[in-house]
Structure 1
Amino acid sequence: MNVHLAKFMMYYKIHQMHRDDCSISQISQYLVVNRRTVRKYLAMNEREYEDFLIQQSERRKELIPYESFIKERLVLYQETSSAQMHDWLKEKYSDFPQVNPKTVFNFVHWVRNKYNLPKIIVHRQFHPIEELPYGKQAQVDFGEFNLRTSIGKRIKVFFFTLVLSRSRFKYIWFTDRYFTAELAIQAHESAFEYIKGTPDEIVYDQDKVFIVDENKGDIILSDKFRAYTREKSFTLHFCRKADPQSKGKVENVVKYVKQNFLYNRTYFNIETLNDEAVNWLGRTANALPHAFTKKEPFSELTIEQSFLKPHIANTPKAIAVYYTVRKDNTISYKSNLYSLPLGTYKGRGSQVTVSIEQEYIILFAQESKELCRHKIAKGKGLKILNTDHKRDKTAAIDEMITTICSLFENPQKARQWLDTLRSAKPRYIRDQLLIVKQTVQATEPALTNKALKYAIDHKITSALDFKAIVTRYRQEDTTEVCQAKIIRLNPLNGAAPNGALVQPDKSQIADYQTIFNNNNHS
């Protein structure tokens, strides 16, 4: 149906509804047409409406002055898009008017029709390739998706997917953070462990996680990924940029994961999502026959595994695995909640790092200071709590700091240093404060002030070190006092002190003799 006929049908429909006693508002709402347009069409007869349409089609186009330029460019470059033509017009003519891109699109389309210059669409030619041998190749790609939590909040998750090219056996691994080289290595290790081997070759996009520079074909890998691949036995193949067709198998898997697994799924935490993904792989992605091969990927894997190279687990390195701290000062690890000391949650984005040692999970602050440790629970849906974590020790510590600050002559500097001490030794701050308090109370203010200045200037973050500094200053002060007394008793300048020059009163011997004789006669 052409546009002219469609407009006439609209005109007749408006008049028909008006004859059926429909109001202008009803016609407007039913046909989704502005009420002013309805009134205007009702005021026209058929001849007037036809003249109106002819006038509309012949109205002057705003871009007519640029027709010749557009035609010349289309003759030379017939595949040019209207968006590129718009940019050329602005580049060529400094006074080109501010028009809507749709206006340019319509005018370019009009020029094409007028001069018979249809847009040339270049179709890329493809041909089928033979099935690769078992164990020869795997393809890797990344994806991301927005999920909703149980309370309706949206959260973005990121995933790594690997598919074996021959068996079509798939693996996916999720994280709640943007992929880095460390996370990509962790995902590879998890995938190789899942498929129980490594292929000869892995095909990748030119992703910034792996590549620093394309370097005209001599690809430069990121340091961490290059070090990892040196330890492994597979070779790397990187596709050209913007060429997803060269790794179509994994591209289809990314779409499959989004549409079949992630769509309308509720997000609880990343561990639960990974558990659900493994279950989905087992019951659907690797269990149903593949659309092309008509074979189950799981059955094919049993054949392909004998052609895969043995997987040697990567030597564990200190890869920081971050976990988000929940509002109730817990983290979720493998579908269980583990408590953290009260105050660990400091608002949205609070995180801790996790380390596993034998049967214990150890939680660290981001500055690598241990917060606590728990024995790893067996089972799921459990809460592992340390009752000591429920105590709010912040207020008591704050009160202690305020009390100790008042013992110094400069409370502000004292608080500054004590806050530094608290950050350096959060787990032992109470013991540290007690040492400082006892030291200050047993020392003269002048010495504590001197020791405080030294501690701040030299960034001392230990109460025992502060106590040692005070002891040292006290010893120096005692030595100075002793030396001062010796100087007064033995002046080195030869001058006698005033006290040494005082002459005591003397009694006459005759007086004592007279008293003695009188006593004898009595």
Structure 2
Amino acid sequence: MKGIEMYAKIQELKELGMSQNAVAAQLGINRATVRHYWNMRADEYSKYSCSIRRISILDQYKSIIAGWIMRFPCISSAQICDWLKENYPYDFKERTVSRFVKALREELPPGLQTQVDFGEMALPNADGTGSTKVRFAAFVLSHSRYKFVYFQSRPFHTVDLITAMNACFVYFGGMTEEYVFDQDSVVCAAENAGDIIYTHEFEAFRQRCGFRVHLCRAADPESKGKIENVVRYVKHGFLENRLYPFDDSTLNHCGVSWLERTANAKQHGTTHKVPAEMFREEREHLRPLPDTVESCSATVLRTVRKDNTIVYCSNRYSVPVGTYTTQKEVEIEAVDGILKIYTVFHEPICEHRISPERGKLIKNKNHDRDKTEASVRTLPLIPHIEKMLKKRMMLEMQYSQILKSDFDRTFDGFVCRDNTGAIITPEYVTRHFKDVVKKYKLRPLRFHDLRHSCASLLLANGVSMKAIQDWLGHSTFNVTANFYSHLDYQSRVSSAEVIANALGDEAETEENESTNEKTGS
């Protein structure tokens, strides 16, 4: 049932006093359809039906309009209407063309286009201390509506986008011919008389992968409405009411699980098809990945400055002293919020937690001095710590059984790992130690200060300075003595008393001798 017959039946049942829900149930149609015709007068229906028939006139221009859309993905329906009027003798209506173009955009061929956009949302921290702003890059295949999302807790830069795109390539198992973005600074460095100038890293990445890029206006529903819907869906369907787990990799694991069980498994509201099922067909049309994903990784070169630092995203990051004299360039790679620095031969140098701020110096204090053999040491395992480590090992085994293949086995054998198996960096511990201090209302304290506390406790309990030197890994005894001799107050008091007593006895003896001489005795 459709057309005038459906309209007449709806009006007839309405006159009988039936509700919209009851009419929809009796006619076996959607309630939205009933609502659309509910208050429509007969003359209004006549005009509406004429506009519907006018759409069929556009069918003869379908291939032409589709060609324009493929060549110019950001073209508006108003411009398409104007071009039709310019080239063909018919009174095309903008609203009619807009509906036709909207339907045509939904019919993009498989493997042609991926739309990309960014979003952010503040999540409360899992331990109740404040919140963390989570940023994400969302991807959607225009044909099948198959989705992918990449999360991180810092602003996106070009290198981060490349990392996210590599992860997307792997998740989809291939690439589409073109990618649609906003004119975002992550992708676009500048615009020169209409010509887009891409950032250096992104342009090099695009050339290696061989895909096309189309940049469109922000919040443009005609050219990238699909991805804007996905961004809203991620915010309100996944992130809303969720706690931040203090770890981007854990959030990404949860995100992939959500994609597989919900976002890609539910029937799409527009296509009325399941994205995962449509993707099985579209996968065959995707372009193959490069020989290795690493060949298109987010790795770039940086010049080492005279002060032994490199510049990344408007911040300076330190490298070990002497790096400037041995190599003028280093290779950098941003992975999961960590900036990894290598030699040009990809030998590891150091790594830093990437700062979300700008104009900062991120410095590792160890880069100011050379490490000695004393810094590498073996110490006895305290029973209390041994018990904690065994408990942690059992918990890690449970997580590996839950996550199965998603559990990271790269660092098997390491002690400090998170719940997904990824390594916990020293910067992570230092950064979150502030939260512990705040939680227990302690005075301002650095994580490194615990090292001084340990030395003070050892000294106060009678441990020799030489033994403390071994625990701390100082190169010489003098270093330990200079740092901690001022803490041994009790021993200094005792020493002073011994000296005072000795001097007191000697002074008393001299006084007695002097008295005897005067009396002649």
- Which TM-score tier does this pair reach, normalised by the shorter chain? 0.3 to 0.5
Bigger Cα Rg: 1
In the superposition, the TM-score normalised over structure 1's length comes to 0.42
TM-score, length-scaled by structure 2? 0.42
- Which gives a bigger RCO, structure 1 or 2 (Cα 8 Å, sep 6+)? 2
